[in-house]
Amino acid sequence: MNSRPYPWEQFYPPGLRWDCPIPASTVPQLLEAAAAADGDRTVVHFRDWTISYKELQAQAEKLAASLLAKGYGGDRCIALYMPNSPYHLIAFFGILRAGARVVHLSPLDARRELAHKMTDSGAQTIVTTNVGGMFENAVKLMEDGLAGTVIVGDDAAFGDPGPARDAIIERDGVIRFDEFCSAPVPPEWPAVGPDDIALLQYTGGTTGLPKGAILTHANLSAAVSQYDAWYSGLYGRPDETEIVLCVLPLFHIYALSAVMLLSVKRQCELVLHMRFDAGKVLEDIERRKITSFPGVPTMWIAIVNHPDLMNRDISSLQRCASGGAPLPIEVGQRFEKLTGQRLAGGWGMTETSPSGTNLLPFGETRHGSIGIPLPGIELQIVSLEDPHRILSPGEIGELRIKGKNVTRGYWNRPQETASSFADGFFLTGDVGYMAEDGFFYIVDRKKDMIISGGFNVYPQMIEQAIYEHPAVAECIVIGAPDSYRGEVAKAFVTLKAGADTLTLEELQSFLSDKLGRHEMPGMLEIRDALPKTPVGKLSRKELRQEELSRAAGAAKDLALKA
């Protein structure tokens, strides 16, 4: 190993140390501190509706008081089924103030996934709103015996223009949000400590139903403290001009922790969009003088290809970040060339709340790197065969992580919890290496690795090369069954507007000096669109299932002909 235990610390901003204090508190204490420091400051700007820090605290406490009065507080789980809406913030802080736990349901979850999360968590109460069919789905869960109460907020409370809204039907078990929040504030709140569970954040895999990562108040608040220490070291403390645009979905850990909770910790204003629209994002950056905009790669792909990009004044932007998935190198380079802004970013995961690493916004650009660990986070590379054996710089293995932000395990999954840790470190499933200077690189997910003719092939490396082709807009590479090599890399591609078609032979010729022969895609499929997860990340899961079904069908046809 490198003789320096934390070689990345040499790149920290002046005055910031890797072992600096990382405060951990309860999540409601973050809001209390912000409201006490600057209660009249706007915390959320949604359409033309605003709410201050002290008003948010008061509304969250009204909900908390009513939850306690109804017996829904304490050690219970409460499902939060929301798009980006002020109701999400009020409910999130209110549920935790009542001493209960939040269970996030995704607006894009199928009924089967919703039912699983309710059953697995034991939640009996759903807090939702009347857009996107969520109220209807919540009522269906109640009819199926999976919920006893649905608390529904009317989106019309935040004015127009809003999305199409569902009618709120009066029936047993359904109560309007404003009517529910009627109990007086109790003389004292339930005792909640940093080590108590705050959130069950369900995270999916390539197979099976999602599992709930257990995140405590300390996990979430420590992650926020790590981000805060890092950004304060880089940029100093924020002032009243700090305005953060949140388009990322708050039911996802990236937006929840690295955007919403961090903004509260730093007493920033949060401009909230219910859904992503590249044109409206550019319009709001100009109109509201946005200073910070975090996104995911698919958002940045849409923005760099948007015809309005060069017609908008986005000079107020001081920080742009990409997270949630690897950013294609070509996209980052193009954004910087067009705007002069460098897309920062990093790596993290649901189980790390999601702090992990960050890239430096200045200095040498290290293409393909996920950056260096944030303060208080230990990252190591260990053998793929033996997670107890630490590898030397440059050797490829699995990333493992340790810190106050890291989950204690999975809800109701003792075996998966036990197999996810080694020597007190969480095994991430990401395959990569650490360079001599302490910068980390990920080559792929362990479970996404293709084994072709006995060689390990990493889809992400192939995707990065394909993105260099001028006709390619989006790309996913998976392993497809192959009778000779076991698996072969198959590329699914969407083309940029106006681009000519692309053949496999043309793509292979373009990649000939960028990839090894064992990495070369053996199959190509052009599509109008590629599957995405609820948070807008490109998703291999559906394509992998298609290929397996196709291979099974072909095998069946051969058997019938025989």
Residue 350 lies in a domain: no
Give pLDDT, residue 326: 74
pLDDT over 80 (residue 321): yes
Residue 209 lies in a domain: yes
C-alpha dist (Å) from residue 400 to 244, 378, 423, 562? 31, 8, 10, 49
pLDDT digits (tens, 9 = 90+) for 129-140: 999 999 999 999
Residue 513 lies in a domain: yes
pLDDT digits (tens, 9 = 90+) for 427-452: 999 999 999 999 999 887 777 878 78
pLDDT digits (tens, 9 = 90+) for 159-195: 987 888 999 999 999 999 999 999 999 999 999 999 9
Q: SS3 of 394, please?
A: coil
The CATH number linked to 470 is 3.30.300.30
407 and 538 part of one domain: no
Phi and psi angles of residue 108, each rounded to the nearest 5 degrees, phi first: -100, 5
The CATH number linked to 382 is 2.30.38.10
165 and 195 part of one domain: yes
pLDDT over 70 (residue 521): yes
Strand partners, 152: 128, 176
* C-alpha span between 408 and 400 (Å, rounded): 14
Give pLDDT, residue 99: 98
pLDDT over 90 (residue 89): yes
pLDDT over 70 (residue 253): yes
428 and 401 part of one domain: yes
Using CA of residue 510, residue 514, residue 518, residue 523, what is the dihedral sign?
Answer: negative
Query: Are the C-beta atoms of 120 and 218 separated by less than 8 Å?
Result: no
Instruction: Report the predicted TM-score, pTM, of the whole model to 2 decimal places.
Output: 0.84
Say what percent of the chain tops pLDDT 90: 75
382 and 508 part of one domain: no
Q: SS3 of 191, please?
A: coil
pLDDT over 60 (residue 562): no
pLDDT mean over 78-100: 98
Query: Are the C-beta atoms of 31 and 100 separated by less than 8 Å?
Result: no
Residue 4 lies in a domain: no
* C-alpha span between 195 and 180 (Å, rounded): 29
Phi and psi angles of residue 489, each rounded to the nearest 5 degrees, phi first: -70, 125
555: confidence class by pLDDT, cuts 50, 70, 90:
low
Give all strands (DSSP E) within 2-124, no chain letters. 42-46, 49-52, 77-81, 101-105
pLDDT over 90 (residue 66): yes
70 and 128 part of one domain: yes
Helices (H) and strands (E) in the chain, counts: 16, 26
Residue 45 lies in a domain: no
DSSP code for 282: H
474 and 435 part of one domain: no
Using CA of residue 163, residue 169, residue 170, residue 171, what is the dihedral sign?
Answer: negative
418 and 509 part of one domain: no
What domain count does the chain have?
3
Query: Are the C-beta atoms of 248 and 227 separated by less than 8 Å?
Result: no
pLDDT over 90 (residue 536): no
414 and 480 part of one domain: no
Which of 101-110, 196-205, 267-276, 294-303 has the highest average model confidence (pLDDT)?
267-276
* C-alpha span between 197 and 155 (Å, rounded): 29
End-to-end CA distance of the chain: 57
pLDDT mean over 20-39: 97
Among candidate residues 215, 250, 276, the one where a domain is terminated: 215
Give all strands (DSSP E) within 280-374, no chain letters. 292-295, 319-322, 343-347, 357-358, 369-373
Least confident of 109-113, 118-122, 350-354, 478-482: 109-113
Give all strands (DSSP E) within 25-140, no chain letters. 42-46, 49-52, 77-81, 101-105, 125-129
Give pLDDT, residue 517: 79
Closest CA to 551 of 461, 490, 466, 469: 490
Give pLDDT, residue 162: 80
pLDDT mean over 12-19: 96
Among candidate residues 389, 413, 447, the one where a domain is terminated: 447
pLDDT over 60 (residue 545): yes
Task: State yes or no: cis peptide before 184, omega within 30 of 0.
Answer: no
pLDDT over 90 (residue 525): yes
Domain that holds residue 422: 365-447
Least confident of 295-309, 347-361, 534-548: 534-548
115 and 201 part of one domain: yes
Give pLDDT, residue 75: 87
C-alpha dist (Å) from residue 308 to 286, 336, 494? 12, 16, 21
Among candidate residues 447, 477, 500, the one where a domain is terminated: 447
Tell me which amino acid residue 37 is. A
183 and 129 part of one domain: yes
Least confident of 352-356, 451-455, 508-512, 517-521: 451-455
**Which residue has better confidence, 515 or 416?**
416
pLDDT over 70 (residue 401): yes
416 and 533 part of one domain: no
Give pLDDT, residue 208: 59
373 and 477 part of one domain: no
Residue 137: which residues within 8 A CB-CB, separation 6 or more?
Answer: 81, 111, 114
Give pLDDT, residue 388: 97
pLDDT mean over 498-511: 94
Q: What is the average pLDDT value for the chain, to the nearest integer?
A: 92
Element (H, E) at 182: none
pLDDT over 50 (residue 255): yes
Give pLDDT, residue 378: 98
Strand partners, 335: none
Give pLDDT, residue 205: 47
Residue 19: which residues within 8 A CB-CB, separation 6 or more?
Answer: 375, 376
Strand partners, 216: 197
351: confidence class by pLDDT, cuts 50, 70, 90:
very high
560: confidence class by pLDDT, cuts 50, 70, 90:
low
